[in-house]
Structure 1
């Protein structure tokens, strides 16, 4: 393998290590022992849940190809997963608000375990059922756990700022360290131990089972809407009204859909970008490098959110702008340096630039996750949190399905340009969100002042009564 790949991996690893070791009191938020115990319990479970997800990711396409399915059939299976997340995810998310977030998290484990079991069958229909179950599980993974965390955090009376500690650590571990370890473990099972392409899915089911047992034994239940009489249609209507009536929620949903849509599209684009003619590249090692870059981003996010003077709405504008430029790099290099990717077994200069740009984008992803979680905890109403969060995923899943269906219809550089444009739009919308938040503060302060004056007028203090 080329020295360049080792240098990039080692460079990002050294930066992450230096950032973590150089943290001072200004970069940390002082918390309490009860909170740390609560946080560590959540991080353990979240890491197990993400291990169950990351173990499967690199081997889904490979497993289908081993079973002899064509590229078109594999594409249909992938579309079924995203379509299932879109169609059933919102319903399941609403049930989480009504029936309980803990139950929803347990449902995630059961659903994903069943999806893993279907991978033992080479029959197309059974694999399709597995993809539908996987789509439902994905919706729960990215809504129910966060909803449970925010509600339980508030119920226990912890400070609001401490949420950012849990968010940043969860992304650092779950989307960084666990992803790297899962990739290496999966490679050990399939490569070194030669247990076959189904082995990572069995390992994922094992980790999910452990996590489910811990959830059952250590988590308490919490709910969204306190009214048990509301049916799903009423919940959907309430969530839609909340999105339509609050510009901040609507903007947040648009920003999330634009960024995540670009991110999922990038997942399909980076391999052909670095190997345009099907050259052999170290996919697993590059993936591990991306995860290191993501860890760098989450470590940076924890520093940014520890500073009370720096608002998430402010620095995320810069993050979106940088991510837009990062995904524009392949387009620029294709015109300025036509020889891209790998050539003659060696990575080209333009391919090296693209790889660095992709790592920068992954660092932005690492900043994005805890930051968007922080904003969601501030703006999304508690009573319909899971429902609204899954509403946000509807345009995302539509976008990814359209991209997958037309992946061969457009040149790859057009797709990168489109993602770059969407990220630029996200930057503009983030600026608009910042303006709304800043404009709302004076009105809130004025309202509080008027309330205090009215209370003083109707309830004069003892000192004033003695004057």
Structure 2
């Protein structure tokens, strides 16, 4: 493996290690033993769920190419995943609120395992079914687990500040350490043991099954609104009303859609961007490097969120600006660095520069996840949390589907430029959210959806 990859990986590892070892008491939060047991249980489950997801990430595009599909066909398969997440996302979110977040988490495990099984078939229709199942699972992953955590945390009466600790730890482990190990493990399975690109999907199924067993045996059920038996349409309308009536929720949803839309587009684009002439690149190792960058970002986020006087709405403006600049690098290199026409070989000079920029973007992703979780816990009403969170995913999935549908019509540099522009817009909207947060105190308890007594109830303090 080229020395360049090891230098980048080693440098990032040194920075992350330094950040973690240099934490002061100001960066730490004193908690109770009961909370620690609850937090550790959730972290184990979340890490297993993310292991099942991250093992697949580096090899989805590569697996499809080994089956003989081109960029256009692969784009259609990705569209199926994002499209199903868009179509079924709000429905499964409402079902999670109504029938229980624990059941929704178990459904995620079963659905994703079935999706992994389909990867054994080279048939396009079977792979399409797998992508649809994967899209449904993704909607559950990014709504049901967080909704269960917030509701259970509040039900047990834990300090609200401790929720930020769980968020940052979950991202540091699940989106950082576990992702790194998953990338390296996948690299061993595919490259070292020569088990083929489908092996990581089999390993993912095993981790998902283990996590499901823990959920079944240790988690209790909680619901979005147990006092009323609302149908899906009522929940959908209630979520839409909450978004339309509170600018903070609408702005937060737009920010999330812009950032995640760019992030998921990046997931598709990084492989062809680093190997435009079929250069031989270590997919698993590069993915592990990206996740180490994300781990660095989550470590930084935990420091920032531990300071009560530092508002998440403030520092996220800088994060979005940096992420915009990072994804603009492929645009810059397309003009300044001559394109190589040699097929195969190692990564090009342009690819090295882009890889460094992608690492900077992934560091921003690491800061984004716990920070957006914190803001959602502040602004989104508990009664329809899963429904509203999946509402946010509708525009981002439309955006990604449009991009992937036209993936052959525009050069990759144009796609990255568009993502960069959207991230810059997100930074502007983040500024707007900070202004709203300073002028209007967040009171999620007041947002009872479609309750006749809402106007009569006295406002509750934070």
Q: Normalization by structure 1: what TM-score? A: 0.91
Per the alignment, residue 292 of structure 2 pairs with 292
The answer to whether residue 423 in structure 2 is matched with residue 423 in structure 1 is: yes
Q: Distance in 2 between matches of 1:76 and 1:43?
A: 34
Residue 70 (structure 1) shift: 4.3
Count of aligned positions: 445
Query: What secondary structure does 2:408 align onto?
Result: coil
Whole-angstrom CA distance in 1 between matches of 2:425 and 2:28: 32
Residues 299-321 of structure 1: per-residue CA shift (max 9 Å, x gap): 00000000000000000011111
Question: Judging changes above 3 Å, is the alpha-carbon distance between structure 1 residues 267 and 342 closer, same or farther for their aligned structure 2 residues?
Answer: farther
1:332 and 1:200 mapped to 2: Cα distance? Answer: 34
Q: Which piece of structure 1 moves more, 73-82 or 407-416?
A: 73-82
Contact kept? 1:342, 1:348, Cα under 8 Å? no
Deviations 1:6-39 (A, max 9, x none): 1111100000001000001011111111111111
The separation in 1 between residues aligned to 2:333 and 2:190, in whole angstroms, is: 36
Give the equivalent residue in structure 1 for 2:199: 199
Q: What residue is the counterpart of 1:357 in the other structure?
A: 357
Question: By how many angstroms is 1:281 displaced?
Answer: 2.5
CA 1:331–1:137: 2 relative to 1, 3 Å: same
- CA distance in 2: counterparts of 1:2 and 1:66, whole angstroms: 24
Counterpart contact for 2:58–2:287, Cα < 8 Å:
no
* Residues 256-302 of structure 1: per-residue CA shift (max 9 Å, x gap): 00001111112222233333323222332222111111000000000
1:209 aligned onto 2:209: yes
Aligned to 2:268: 268
CA distance in 1, matches of 2:130, 2:343: 38
**What does 1:41-190 correspond to in 2, within 5 Å?**
41-190=41-190
> Do the aligned residues in 1 keep the contact of 2:379 with 2:442 (CA within 8 Å)?
no
Question: What is the DSSP-based 3-state SS (H/G/I as helix, E as strand, rest coil) of the residue aligned with 1:278?
Answer: coil
Distance 1:197 1:276, change over 3 A: closer
Is the contact made by 1:341 and 1:350 (CA closer than 8 Å) also made in structure 2?
A: no
Q: Distance in 2 between matches of 1:137 and 1:125?
A: 19
Structure 2 counterpart SS, 1:265? helix
Cα separation, partners in 2 of 1:275 and 1:77, compared to 1, 3 Å: closer
Pick closer, same or farther for the CA change 1:218–1:365 going to 2, 3 Å.
Answer: same
Runs of 4+ residues over 6 Å off in structure 1: 340-344
In structure 1, the residue matched to 2:33 is: 33
C-alpha change, 1:343 and 1:335, in structure 2 (3 Å) is farther
| Shift of residue 439, structure 1, vs aligned partner | 0.9
State the 1:342 CA deviation. Answer: 9.2
Contact 1:342–1:351 at 8 Å: present in 2 too? no
Correspondence list, 1:301-316, <5 A: 301-316=301-316
Give the structure-2-normalised TM-score.
Answer: 0.92
Aligned counterparts of 1:139 and 1:346: Cα–Cα separation in 2: 37
- The 5 A counterparts of 1:423-462 are 423-441=423-441
Instruction: Return the alpha-carbon distance in structure 2 between the equivalents of residues 212 and 58 of structure 1.
Output: 23
Unaligned runs of 5+ in 1: 445-453, 455-467
CA deviations 1:390-439 (Å, max 9, x no partner) are: 00001111111111110111122211211111111000000000000101
**Cα shift at 1:341:** 11
**Farther off after superposition, 74-83 or 166-175:** 74-83
Instruction: Write the distance in 2 (CA, Å) between the matches of 1:342 and 1:427.
Output: 39
Q: Which has the higher Rg, Structure 1 or Structure 2?
A: 1
TM-superposed deviation, 1:441: 4.0
Aligned to 2:334: 334
How far is the alpha carbon of 1:177 from its aligned partner?
1.1
